[in-house]
Structure 1
Amino acid sequence: MTAENSTFGRYGPGGSRPSLDAVRVPVRFGTVVDAGLGVVFAAAVAFQAYQVADVWGARYWPFGAAVAASVCVLALVRRVSPLWTAVAGLTVAVLAVLVTRLVHLPAEPSPAASLGLAVLTGSALRTLPARGACVVGGAGLAVVAGGLLAGPGSAVPVLSGLAWLAGVAVGLGLRLLAARHRAATELVRRAERLELARELHDVVAHHITSIVLQAQAARLVTAKHPDRTADSLAGIETAGSEALAATRRAVGLLRDTAPAPEGHERLDELIERFESHGRRASLRLDAEPSGWPPEVSSTVYRVVRESLTNAARHARNAATVTVGITQHDEGVTVEVEDDAPQAPALRYRRAGYGLAGMRERVEALGGTLTAGPRPGTGWAVRATIPTGEPPRP
């Protein structure tokens, strides 16, 4: 195993250990998408106005441009209310179809307006409940049909139909992916609950056994030294309080999402197993695990195990993985960091279901777990778990 100071020396006391709070948060994907849509919408409206003015005449383009711009703006603010922005966009499109039919303007919905309607339809199908999504999808189809009836022989309504189909396909595809993600997350949570249910007996048995042994000892002490009865009862009371606290923590874990056969004593085995595949790792244990509650010890082990598993899968170019465990007044902090070169795909791929399960377990104990890229290079997982008592001197 790599010597402790070989990797952790620069992060030790007086060092400059990076904090996940200082990690630069990537720009939200949705913001980038909306910015790109804004550019596409503006280009589509301008190009359409130019084509209408060139073919129909200069006085025909303002109406179509106004309709298209209105629908596109609604598409850009769709996140405020997917239902009502979709309803407003479809209403504008219906009115435009009626007006063009009455005053013989170019066919509606125009290509630029159809693009905005496709985005509104896809967003509604992706996010709304089934009934609302079906209503919006059906209303979009009705608008396309109305355009075909108002402008027979024109290619514009055909383009509107193709845009509607694309919006429906994308919206349903994203909806199915989101449903699959929720189902997979629920499976992880259910597996955690089942595992915790199996382990609950061990948590309770650990503390109850201590109470029983102390009660038996108290009977013997009372028989021979009655003056020591108070001390024996105090010990039983302490053990009972610890049992009650551990039981509450375990029940909280079961309700939201013990000692396990794994614990802090097997951390060295994790490091050795990780290094057996040709990778370097180091462990810094700045704590006294013997004073931790069993469920805290188990959770620390599992956080380290899952983090090393993720590093083995997604940080194959990492030279070293460092594991740091520090005890403080509030509890225990676990940090697992690698120095693999950054890759954009890893920002999302490495936040998998295993970490979702760990987050459930850590948060149920009153702690926090975060994961994200480190400044410059590498990935870091940081978990803070309360122990319910200050560290021993």
Structure 2
Amino acid sequence: MNAVLRSLWDEPRPPDPPSRVWRDWALLGVLELAVLLEGLVRPGMPWRVLSVIVVAVLLPALLWRRTRPFPVFLGSFAATSAVMLLTGGAAPSAYATAGLLLLPYALARWGSGREIVLGLGLVLPETALSVALGQKSLADAAGGIVVLFAAVTLAAAFRYRARARLRELDQAKLLERERLARDLHDTVAHHVSAMAIRAQAGLAMMPSQPKAAADALQLIEAEAARALDEMRTMVRVLRRDEPADLAPAPRIADLAKLASGARPSVDVAVAGDLDDLPPSIGSAIYRLAQESVTNARRHARHVTRIEVRVTTDDTSVRLRVSDDGEPGLGRPATSPGYGIAGMIERAGLLGGTCEAGPGPGRGWTVTAVLPRRGAAA
């Protein structure tokens, strides 16, 4: 039990609370209007003017409920408690204060563990004291506690769900980094093998053909420079010390394998100069296209055709994968899946970008742009 309480007390705030958006202002406007209308038309409203003023002043605090959940909750609690003390137990109108139920929800959703404990630790004794002093009936107090814990429970469920999704996204990114590191390992191994062969040839030709030996040294220097670039990228992205998979890294030329006999059909077209493309970029383009085609086959509905297009220029390599299907349940337009998160991670590590979403007409489109020379060291 102590471990559970300690874990709750040490719970940090969730990262990156949503910023204020137009819906928050719209909600505030609706609630303020509701408070004003209630004050004007509700018959027999106790402490009419005071209730309207207090709630109208407290409601703007909802704008900070995500970024400052504990101070906002504490201020609201102190204000309503002060009103009850001044009025002999008469709280502001229950209808008018309904919007303030968002504050305990926000505290449990975006506050730290100790803030949640302290906030609820203020409410429960205050409620018990009100019942003891006869300011509230036991039924009213019990109903308020039930509503409060319902809001807290709902917030806790959303908080747990968001944390689970964040862990899965982090895992997807980590796996993509490891795959990229393995691909880079293959690339560096290729460069080192080429240097070894050139060095052997240079040594063999040195007695009889010194110029050929010098040319071999120049080639070794160029291979070493490429290997160093790849190694810098590898060190930057490798997160865990695991043995690399020694399977050959795929290249853009392997994109033709995606156009297999499986349905739906995949049409692959490559345009531009690919001769001096770094192996890490070629491998990344293949992996991005492979993941995009796999997603289309798994999640798109009524898809009949998938197009893979790769074009290059002097500075970048562009990939576009599109299908003519209908987005399924696994492909929401606003919440990218873990495969897409891994694709974005891979492109970002190489200094590029990757975007995915519904196509202009129908279907789904993935677009990636990678620098031709790879990420800057």
Q: How does the TM-score come out when normalised to structure 2? A: 0.80
- Matching residue within 324, 332, 353 for 1:346: 332
Select between 325-334 and 290-299 the one with higher mean Cα deviation: 290-299
**Quick one: distance in 2 between partners of 1:56 and 1:78?**
28
Gaps of 5+ in 1: 1-27
Could you report, residue by residue, the CA deviation over 1:247-305 in whole angstroms, capped at 9, with x for unpaired residues? 112222214999854332331222325xx23x243222113444322221221111111
**Quick one: distance in 2 between partners of 1:314 and 1:262?**
24
**Quick one: distance in 2 between partners of 1:142 and 1:224?**
97
Select between 71-80 and 138-147 the one with higher mean Cα deviation: 138-147
Counterpart for residue 291 of structure 1 = 276
Could you report, residue by residue, the CA deviation over 1:288-333 in whole angstroms, capped at 9, with x for unpaired residues? 4443222212211111111122222332134533221111222211
- Matching residue within 243, 248, 266 for 1:281: 266
Counterpart for residue 228 of structure 2 = 244
**Contact map agreement 2:183 2:283 (CA 8 A) in 1:** no
**Contact map agreement 1:325 1:332 (CA 8 A) in 2:** yes
The structural deviation recorded for 1:37 is 3.2
RMSD: 3.2
Using a 3 Å threshold, how does the CA distance of structure 1 residues 321 and 241 change in structure 2: closer, same or farther? Answer: same
Q: How does the TM-score come out when normalised to structure 1? A: 0.77
What secondary structure sits across from 1:348 in the alignment?
coil
**Contact map agreement 1:334 1:383 (CA 8 A) in 2:** yes
What secondary structure sits across from 2:306 in the alignment?
strand
Counterpart for residue 175 of structure 2 = 191
Aligned residue pair count = 351
Matched AA of 1:299? A
What secondary structure sits across from 2:373 in the alignment?
coil
Counterpart for residue 103 of structure 2 = 120
Using a 3 Å threshold, how does the CA distance of structure 1 residues 34 and 321 change in structure 2: closer, same or farther? Answer: farther
Counterpart for residue 258 of structure 2 = 270
Matched AA of 1:88? G
**Contact map agreement 1:110 1:156 (CA 8 A) in 2:** no
Using a 3 Å threshold, how does the CA distance of structure 1 residues 30 and 267 change in structure 2: closer, same or farther? Answer: farther
Matched AA of 2:39? A
Point out the structure with the larger helix share.
Answer: 1
Q: Does 1:74 align with 2:58?
A: no
Using a 3 Å threshold, how does the CA distance of structure 1 residues 373 and 197 change in structure 2: closer, same or farther? Answer: closer
Counterpart for residue 210 of structure 2 = 226
**Contact map agreement 1:282 1:322 (CA 8 A) in 2:** yes
**Contact map agreement 1:111 1:160 (CA 8 A) in 2:** no
Alignment of 1:92-111 (within 5 A): 92-101=79-88, 106-108=90-92, 110-111=94-95
Gaps of 5+ in 2: 1-17
The structural deviation recorded for 1:372 is 2.4
Q: Does 1:131 align with 2:114?
A: yes
Using a 3 Å threshold, how does the CA distance of structure 1 residues 364 and 48 change in structure 2: closer, same or farther? Answer: same
Counterpart for residue 19 of structure 1 = none
